[in-house]
Amino acid sequence: MSGFPILSLMLAVPLVAAILCLYAGDRNARMIALVATLIDFALGVVLWANFDIGGAQWQFVERADLFGRFSYKLGIDGMALMLIMLSVFLMPLCILASWDAIKQRVGLYMAMFLIMEVVMIGVFMAQDLLLFYIFFEAGLIPMYFIIGIWGGANRKYAAFKFFLYTLLGSVLMLIAMIAMIAEAGTTDIPTLLNYDFPVEMQTWLWLAFFASLAVKMPMWPVHTWLPDAHVQAPTAGSMILAGVLLKLGAYGFIRFMMPMFPDASAQLMWLVFGLSMVAVVYTSLVALVQNDMKKLIAYSSVAHMAIVTAGLFAFNQQGIEGALIIMLSHGVVSAALFFCVGVIYDRLHTREIDRYGGLAVNMPAYALFFMLFTMASIGLPGTSGFVGEFLSLLGIYEASSVVAFVCTTGIILGAAYMLYLYRRVVFGELTKDDVKAMPDLNPREWAIMAPLAAVALWMGVYPESFLAPMRSDVTTVVARLAPAKPAGDAHLAAGKPKPAAAHGENAHGSSHAGGVQ
């Protein structure tokens, strides 16, 4: 398997399919897109199965010096593998979700989604700084079309805002990249990861990267493009936006900013923590008062991403692992929640919460799935959300108890707005006639809900499957950060056993001490 260019193949399949879709009729385009994304998913599974956990940091490396100044170099580590899996897993579901909802210009739509897939997995595979940037930016084009052509009433404004906002952030990153390439003399990411930039330069580079990634993330106060983009985008567009595109920012944090600029990351930790704390509380409160379901979930995404940034900047194993699991979990759960909105939107063509109510009566299966994803979003033990939030909050607590405290309130608020949403949509009296007429899930919708639910539970019950490939990568990052890491305020120390009763004193003492690090 080692010599086979599986990563290139994963990029080529959707690309070829995208070109075919442009020339195919509506029905064929749907089929081509579904088959291509399923092939890519299958390739992803093969990739995961062949990934050597605990082996070399970079696997499946391919390199071709095609471009003179930079090279076509692909390769993945555990973190990239998991995010690629997330992308290829969500993609066929997105295609299915738009099966009936998209009726106009289907070929173009499917082509845009397939190009989106190429670009997204390309970002995670790229091992060359410029190649990464090209993939990173290229995502703007298909998303601009997806929001602008097939979006809601205010789609043009949202598409512009999305495009220009994210472009403005990214261009500063490009200047930083140019400076890095000039300083280090290479575009090779693995080499750059171990290059020690001068401390003063790091700060500038860090800020430039932050300008770009914070917008993508999105962090408060540059998150305002997200609610607009989400509300206007078609269901599948929101799914992929929340599911994968938001992860690009966090991926950039952990792939570039933290290991490449460890000193600057430590110096500016307060900035990330500060913005994250504001975001968790503020956006949760904003989510609480929304009348638009998609907007509510969009704001909840901002809040979840803020816990991710705080977890990453905790600079310890638990914090980073937790943040990564939240990224994966949020990818699945928010995509599922947007799909839940899409299901009822397709039936009633409104996202206004007050127009619904009592769906538990006539749509029991839907209510069940919606409940599961609501709980996963809140972080109920047993669902994927819990694992990530628990781990990252643990990590954050080690770094700063104040941040941990504020972030935890976000989880409580999260429970408030999600349960409030659920109550208004699903419970209550089934009074409205048009709502009464809504049928329960059809087989296609089942086929989308079931895998999402299965993964959300799998990640909640046995997160080790997802953590294992990433663990050594996180250790590498933590080790890289260790010299710059400021002391946390937790001062964790082994507790002193109480002077116990005379019998069995030694046995008690040792078991206690082992429990705390």
Partner 1 sequence: MTADLMLIWPELILTIGGLITLMLGTFMGDRQVGIYQLSSLLTLAAAAAAVVALFGVETTVFSGTLSVDAFGGFAKLLIYAASFICILVAPRFFTGAMRAEYPTLILFAALGMGIMASSRDLMTLYVGLELNSLAAYVLASFMRTDERSSEAGLKYFVLGALASGMLLYGISLLYGFTGTTDFAGIAAAMGGELNIGLIFGIVFVLSGLGFKISAVPFHMWTPDVYEGAPTPVTTFFASAPKVAAMALMTRVVIDAMGPAVGAWQQIVIFLALASIILGAVGAIGQKNIKRLLAYSSINNVGFMLIGLAAGTQQGVEGVLTYLLVYLVTTLGAFLVVLQLRDAGGNQVESIPALAGLSQRRPGLAAAMSVFLFSLAGIPPLFGFWPKYLVFEAAVNANLVPLAVAGIVASVIGAFYYIAIIKTMYFDDKSEVDVTGGGNAVEGTIVAASALWLSAIGYLFIPMLAVASAHAASVLF
- Judged by CB, which is closer to partner 1: 168, or 492? 168
- Judged by CB, which is closer to partner 1: 164, or 289? 164
CA distances from 249 to 213, 305, 413, 510 (A): 5, 9, 24, 44
- Judged by CB, which is closer to partner 1: 144, or 282? 144
Count CB atoms within 10 A of the CB of residue 446: 14
Give the H/E segment covering residue 362: helix 359-362
CA distances from 62 to 119, 193, 323, 457 (A): 17, 18, 29, 34
CA distance 428 to 415: 19
- Judged by CB, which is closer to partner 1: 16, or 181? 181
The candidate with the shortest Cα–Cα distance to 352, out of 456, 416, 408, 435, is: 435
- Judged by CB, which is closer to partner 1: 145, or 273? 145
Q: Closest approach of Cβ 138 to partner 1, in Å?
A: 4
CA distance 121 to 10: 8
- Judged by CB, which is closer to partner 1: 16, or 138? 138
Q: Closest approach of Cβ 141 to partner 1, in Å?
A: 6
Count CB atoms within 10 A of the CB of residue 415: 17
Q: Closest approach of Cβ 214 to partner 1, in Å?
A: 16
Q: CA neighbours within 13 Å on the CB side: how many for 487?
A: 4
Q: Closest approach of Cβ 135 to partner 1, in Å?
A: 8
What is the 8-class DSSP label of residue 73?
E
- Judged by CB, which is closer to partner 1: 15, or 396? 15
Q: Closest approach of Cβ 36 to partner 1, in Å?
A: 19
CA distance 41 to 35: 10
Alpha helix (H) residue ranges in 98-154: 106-125, 129-138, 140-150
Q: Closest approach of Cβ 120 to partner 1, in Å?
A: 13
Q: Closest approach of Cβ 160 to partner 1, in Å?
A: 7
Q: In the complex, which residues of this chain contact partner 1 (CB under 8 A)?
A: 66-69, 105, 108, 130, 133-135, 137-138, 140-141, 144-145, 148-149, 155-156, 159-160, 163-164, 167-168, 171-172, 174-175, 178-179, 181-182
